[in-house]
């Protein structure tokens, strides 16, 4: 892979004292590092000596004091541009320079050979354009000086006129108009150039800033839609109160003024702990049992099968066990296969998927020698089929018993209804009230007047012995004419006749 690391920088660069110098630089690296965060460092030495750091893209406090606030990158590290700019070059800045990149995860590389910076004396001089002069008439004399450095914006320009005996000067503040440039994206969270990563549920704020004069109009866009914008400002925040996975994607900041446009992308990545997918489960053939464990997580998790005697990960074969694993984006898949053999096998395995935010577990059981297998968690297996058949048989049996009981109750009710109708017809009296008392006929007594049986006794209380057959008894009630006899003065006694018939038709 070392052959993939390369850079394109000149051997020599010359600048005049007091002006700015630029060292053009482009670099290459292995393709698997494309989406990794990175830090760019320029050294003013032959070796990576921390005392001679000319530029540090992440932390300016690591730069040497003589370079601090004078160096910057003119390009974008995410676009493989590592060009260095040094403002207000001094004679002490001369010497060797080389670029170093540090990727997240420990990958780093020093790009050689070095570039030699040569600093010469300032030789540029202004040009004065003479004009025809007439005594007593005003005259315009033009003085020009070529410069392309934007650092003169906001600075004072002094014009002096000296005569043999007197002198005069005028001060002008320079306003250098230019198109948007040096557009940068920063965040208090984990941000590096074109990449921001935040844990799910947390808030995030991303700042887009640019240099331009006049000030630029800034706009944040996502999937072609405008999120927010500001007029006449060189800064614009984009805020996420609570990040979800749906917020993952590429966001674009666009800066525009009357002289041009600049834009830059940033990728927002939402991190979360592993979650077992519903695709997990077990299947079997006559020769083997295979359990699949799938999980989604960001950053990608490490999948390990925990077995009674060892832990297995990646692609391995140990005896009758074989593991296979593949990761794609936020999804990691692993399989564990138990192949048949001479002896029985009963293996319990635990699939563990872990990243820096947490761990997810999935338990499976692998049974051989004709037995079905079962999976834990969200998996399905053939032992579930056996259990399912057993439950079907139990439910069918319970259903048959329930139907039989309901049929018996309906038949019993029908018989009771028919007996009720028969007794009503036998009474031959439309004014008769029919009372059904489900208790033994031997418990009934046909009393009269106030000394008759209490209501509780009519409900089947009595003194019948335990175990007596309870027969249905029907009572027909008919009012009889009053005899006119009185028991107490002012009271009229009415008599009623109760006629009982047993279920068997006996009076």
Task: Determine the pLDDT at residue 476.
Answer: 44
Q: Say if residue 429's pLDDT is above 50.
A: no
**pTM confidence score:** 0.49
Q: Say if residue 440's pLDDT is above 60.
A: no
Among 42-56, 400-414, 447-461, 490-504, the range with the most confident prediction by mean pLDDT is 42-56
Tokens of 36: 């990794």
Sequence-ordered list of residues with C-beta below 8 angstroms from that of 187, at least 6 positions apart, any chain: 196, 204, 205, 206, 207
Q: Which whole number is the average pLDDT over 387-409?
A: 71
Nearest Cα to 437, choosing from 461, 463, 413, 408?
461
Task: Determine the pLDDT at residue 471.
Answer: 43
- Sorting pLDDT into bands at 50, 70 and 90, what band is 192? low
Sequence-ordered list of residues with C-beta below 8 angstroms from that of 106, at least 6 positions apart, any chain: none
Task: Determine the pLDDT at residue 420.
Answer: 56
Neighbours of 289 (CB within 10 A): 26
Task: Read off the pLDDT of residues 28-44 as tens digits, 9 standing for 90 and up.
Answer: 999 888 888 899 999 99
Q: Which residues pair with 262 in a beta bridge?
A: 255
Q: Helix %, strand %, coil % for the chain, to 5?
A: 15, 45, 40
Q: Which of 82-96, 295-309, 316-330, 477-491 has the lowest mean pLDDT?
A: 477-491
For the chain, the average pLDDT equals 77
- Angle among Cα 445, 447, 450 to the nearest 5 degrees reads 140
Asked if residues 234 and 211 have their Cβ atoms less than 8 Å apart, the reply is yes
- Give the span between the Cα atoms of 226 and 256, in whole angstroms: 14
Higher pLDDT, 488 or 19: 19
């Amino acid at each position: 892979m070392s052959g993939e690391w390369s850079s394109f920088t000149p051997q020599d660069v010359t600048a005049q004292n007091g002006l700015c110098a630029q060292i053009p630089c482009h670099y290459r690296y292995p393709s698997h590092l494309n989406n990794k965060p990175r830090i760019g460092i320029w050294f003013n030495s032959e070796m990576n000596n921390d005392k001679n750091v000319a530029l540090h893209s992440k932390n300016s406090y690591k730069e040497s004091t003589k370079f601090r606030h004078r160096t910057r990158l003119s390009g974008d590290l995410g676009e493989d541009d590592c060009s260095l700019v040094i403002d207000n070059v001094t004679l002490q800045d001369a010497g060797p320079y080389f670029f170093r990149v540090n990727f997240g995860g420990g990958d780093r590389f020093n790009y050689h050979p070095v570039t030699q910076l040569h600093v010469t004396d300032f030789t540029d001089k202004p040009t004065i354009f003479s004009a025809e002069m007439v005594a007593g008439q005003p005259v315009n004399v033009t003085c020009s000086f070529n410069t392309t450095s934007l650092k003169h914006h906001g600075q004072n320009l002094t014009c002096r006129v000296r005569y043999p005996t007197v002198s005069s000067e005028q001060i002008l503040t320079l306003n250098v108009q230019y198109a948007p440039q040096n557009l940068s994206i920063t965040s208090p969270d984990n941000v590096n150039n074109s990449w921001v990563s935040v844990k799910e549920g947390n808030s995030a704020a991303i700042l887009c800033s640019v240099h331009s004069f006049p000030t630029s109009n800034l706009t944040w866009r996502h999937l072609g839609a405008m999120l927010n914008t500001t007029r006449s400002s060189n800064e614009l925040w984009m805020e996420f109160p609570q990040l979800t996975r749906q917020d993952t994607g590429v966001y674009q900041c666009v800066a525009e003024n009357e002289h041009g446009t600049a834009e830059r992308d940033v990728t927002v990545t939402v991190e979360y702990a592993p979650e077992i997918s519903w695709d997990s489960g077990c299947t079997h053939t006559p020769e083997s049992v295979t359990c699949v464990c799938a999980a989604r997580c960001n950053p990608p998790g490490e999948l390990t099968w925990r077995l009674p005697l060892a832990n297995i990960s990646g692609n391995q074969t140990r005896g009758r066990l074989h593991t296979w694993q593949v990761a794609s984006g936020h999804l990691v898949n692993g399989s564990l296969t138990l192949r048949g053999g001479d002896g029985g096998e009963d293996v319990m395995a635990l699939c563990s998927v872990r990243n820096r935010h947490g761990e997810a577990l999935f338990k499976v059981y692998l049974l051989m020698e004709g037995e079905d297998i079962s999976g834990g968690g969200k998996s399905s297996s053939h032992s579930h089929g056996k259990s399912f058949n057993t439950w079907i048989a139990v439910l069918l049996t319970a259903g048959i018993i329930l139907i039989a009981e309901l049929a018996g109750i309906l038949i019993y009710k029908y018989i009771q209804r028919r007996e009720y109708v028969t007794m009503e017809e036998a009474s031959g009296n439309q004014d008769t009230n029919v009372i059904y008392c489900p208790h033994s006929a031997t418990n009934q007594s046909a009393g009269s007047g106030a000394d008759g049986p209490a209501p509780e006794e009519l409900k089947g209380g009595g003194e019948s012995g335990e175990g007596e057959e309870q027969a249905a008894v029907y009572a027909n009630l008919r009012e009889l004419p009053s005899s006119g006899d009185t028991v107490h003065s002012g009271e009229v006694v009415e008599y009623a006749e109760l006629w009982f018939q047993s279920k068997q038709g006996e009076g």
